[in-house]
Amino acid sequence: MATVPLFSQFPCKTLIPSSSSSKSQSKSPILVPINSINRRSEVGIAVHRPDFKVRATDVDDEWGTDAAERGSNVSVAEKSAEEAIESVEETERLKRLLVDSLYGTDRGLSASSETRAEISEFITQLESKNPNPAPNEALFLLNGKWILAYTSFVGLFPLLSRRISPLVKVDEISQTIDSDSFTVQNSVRFAGPLATTSISTNAKFEIRSPKRVQIKFEQGVIGTPQLTDSIEIPEFVEVLGQKIDLNPIRGLLTSVQDTASSVARTISSQPPLKFSLPGDNAQSWLLTTYLDKDLRISRGDGGSVFVLVKEGSSLLSP
C-alpha cells in the first residue's frame, strides 16, 4: 500500500492528441463551396484555364481560308472571266473590220496602198490574238474548204487581172485541206458566158513545226467545163481599155451561143485532164499565223500573206 502515495506525488496531465495525429487529420480533403470559386480573390485560390480562340469559317471551306482571301480570289476569277470575254469580243470585232476592209479589193488586186496598210494592221493585230498559237496541233480546224479573200502574192495578180480572156473571170480561188490523208488541193474556178471550169493542183503536206507545213505538189487537174444554168451575153466587153458594144451583133452571138452550148455539153461529159508536176520546184511552204473556225491567215515565200475564210462562214456574207 506504500506504493500508492509514491505515485500520487507526480502530477497527472490530461492526454492531448499529438502533432503527428494532427498532421494525419490535415491530409483529409478540403471541401470548398462552388460559389467560392467565383470569388477566388477572396479565398486566395487561383484557378488556371487554357486559352481558347474562336474563328468563324465557312462550312464548305475545308481549309478554313480567311473570308477576305476568298473574296479576293473570287474577284480575281471574275476579273479574268471578264477579260477573256472582252478579248473574244475584240477579236471578233477585228475579224469583221478586216473582212470589211477587203471589200472591193478583188482579193488584193485593186487595193490601194492606204487600204493595204490598213489591212496589214488588222492582220498584225489578229496574229497577236491568235487563239491557236500551235495550229498544226489543231488539225481539225484546218480541215475543210477555205476561200481566198485577200493576198499580197503578186504571182496571182496576172491571173486575177483577166489577161487570159476578157470574157473569162476568176470566180473563186480556194484551198481544201484533208488532215487525215495530209493532202491539200489548190483550185481556181473560172467563169465565162457559157460555162465554168477549174484548174487544180493536188499536193501532200508535212508538218515541220507547230505553225509551218511543207507542201509538195504532185498533180495538176484541168476540170471539164460545166455548162452554166443561165447564159447571159454582156452588152459590151472591154479590150485593152476600150469598150466594145455587142448589141449590134447580138443575133449572131445568140447563134454562136447555141452552137457553143452544144459543144460544152459534149466536153462536160469527158473526164478531167490530169498531169504530173515533177521536179523540186513544185514545192512550197506555209506558215499559219492565225486560225479559228472561221478565219485563217497564212504567210508564204517572200513574205506574202493570204487571208482565207472557211466555206459557209458568216464572214462571207456581205
* 262 vs 186: which has the higher pLDDT: 186
* 133 vs 27: which has the higher pLDDT: 133
SS3 readout for the chain:
CCHHHHHHCCCCCCCCCCHHHHHHHHCCCCCCCHHHHHHHHHHCCCCCCCCCCCCCCCCCCCCCCCHHHHHHHHHHHHHHHHHHHHHHHHHHHHHHHHHHHCCCCHHHCCCCHHHHHHHHHHHHHHHHCCCCCCHHHCHHHHCEEEEEEEECCHHHHHHHCCCCCCCCEEEEEEEEEECCCCEEEEEEEEECCCEEEEEEEEEEEEECCCCEEEEEEEEEEECCCEECCCCCCCCEEEECCEEEECHHHHHHHHHHHHHHHHHHHHHHCCCCEEEECCCCCCEEEEEEEEECCCEEEEECHHHCEEEEEECCCHHHCC
Q: Give the model confidence (pLDDT) of 31-66 as tens digits.
A: 444 444 444 444 444 444 545 444 544 444 444 556
- Domains of the chain by start residue, with CATH: 81-223+273-313 (2.40.128.280), 231-271 (no CATH)
Averaged pLDDT, 236-241:
59
> pTM of the entire structure?
0.64
Tell me what pLDDT residue 184 has: 94
- In which band, very low, low, confident or very high, does the pLDDT at 282 lie, cut at 50, 70 and 90? confident
pLDDT(67) > 60: no
Tell me what pLDDT residue 175 has: 95
CA 220, CA 199: separation in Å to the nearest integer? 7
CA 189, CA 107: separation in Å to the nearest integer? 14
DSSP character for 123?
H
Q: What percent of the chain lies above the pLDDT cut of 90?
A: 37
Tell me what pLDDT residue 265 has: 62
| Lowest mean pLDDT across 39-48, 65-74, 292-301 | 39-48
Please report, for residues 85, 99, 102, 296, the alpha-carbon distance to residue 308 in angstroms, rounded to integers and kept in the order given: 25, 10, 11, 5
Mean per-residue pLDDT over the chain, rounded: 75
pLDDT(119) > 90: yes
Tell me what pLDDT residue 260 has: 62
Tell me what pLDDT residue 165 has: 61
Tell me what pLDDT residue 307 has: 97
